[in-house]
Amino acid sequence: MTVYSSLLKLPSVETYQALRIGSGLSAKTDDAAIRGLPNTLFAVQILYGSMPVGMGRVIGDGGCFFQVVDIAVLVEHQGKGLGKRIMSEIMHYIETHVPESGYVSLIADGQAQDLYAQFGFVHTAPRSVGMAYKRPQA
């Protein structure tokens, strides 16, 4: 019987892109992934046998600001507690590596906010709201 396991290792560019697309997240270009992945502070992959089926990362400056990103589980493996497993690994990193004054944030898409709430994440509004830069269309 194949079981799931955690691998505390940054995924390859190819795996990263496949997990994002296969989980319903937006695609990233090769250039973006090649530039961005080495700046990861912490990464976890979920393996089904030897096949990566989920991932999550923490990015930031390593002292003041940390952001949880790329929580992704392939559609066919969703609903099996893997998001919780990814977040548990991330929370262990946060609890052991983030200074007391460090600010940890994330952007929750849709119902993912229910998962993140289980790990102590709360809405920041109305005190603050998440914003994203939208490039003007040429």
Query: Is 137 a residue whose pLDDT tops 80?
Result: yes
Q: What is the CA radius of gyration of the chain?
A: 15
Q: In this predicted structure, what is the pLDDT of residue 66?
A: 98
Question: Is residue 78 situated within a structural domain?
Answer: yes
User: In this structure, what DSSP letter does residue 78 have?
Assistant: T
Residue 30 lies in a domain: yes
- Domain of residue 89, CATH code: 3.40.630.30
- Strand-pairing partners, residue 95, are none
* SS3 state at 47: strand
Segment among 7-11, 75-79, 108-112 with least mean pLDDT: 108-112
Question: Tens of pLDDT along 31-74?
Answer: 999 999 999 999 999 999 999 999 999 999 999 999 999 999 99
What would the pLDDT profile of 73-102 be if each residue is shown by its tens digit?
999 999 999 999 999 999 999 999 999 999
Structural domain of 95:
4-117
Give the pLDDT of residue 43. Answer: 98
pLDDT above 90 (res 9): yes
The tens digit of pLDDT for each residue in 95-107 reads: 999 999 999 999 9
Q: Considering the domain boundaries, does residue 56 fall inside one?
A: yes
Say if 134 falls within a structural domain.
no
78 vs 38, 72, 81, 83, 88, CA distance in Å? 27, 9, 7, 8, 16
* Residue 30 scores a pLDDT above 90: yes
pLDDT at 2: 72
Does residue 76 fall inside a structural domain? yes
- Kindly report each contact of residues 12-21 with a partner whose C-beta sits within 8 Å and lies 24 or more positions away, as own/partner: 13/37, 15/45, 15/52, 15/55, 16/55, 16/70, 18/52, 19/52, 19/53, 19/54, 19/55, 19/70, 19/72, 19/74, 20/70, 20/72
Domain count, the chain: 1
Is the residue at 65 inside a domain? yes
Q: Does residue 137 lie in a domain region?
A: no
Q: Is residue 127 part of a domain?
A: no
What local confidence, expressed as pLDDT, does residue 49 receive?
A: 95
- Whose CA is closest to 97, among 72, 55, 60, 54? 60
- Report whether 40 contacts 90 (CB < 8 A): no
| Distance of alpha carbon 63 from alpha carbon 137, whole angstroms | 35
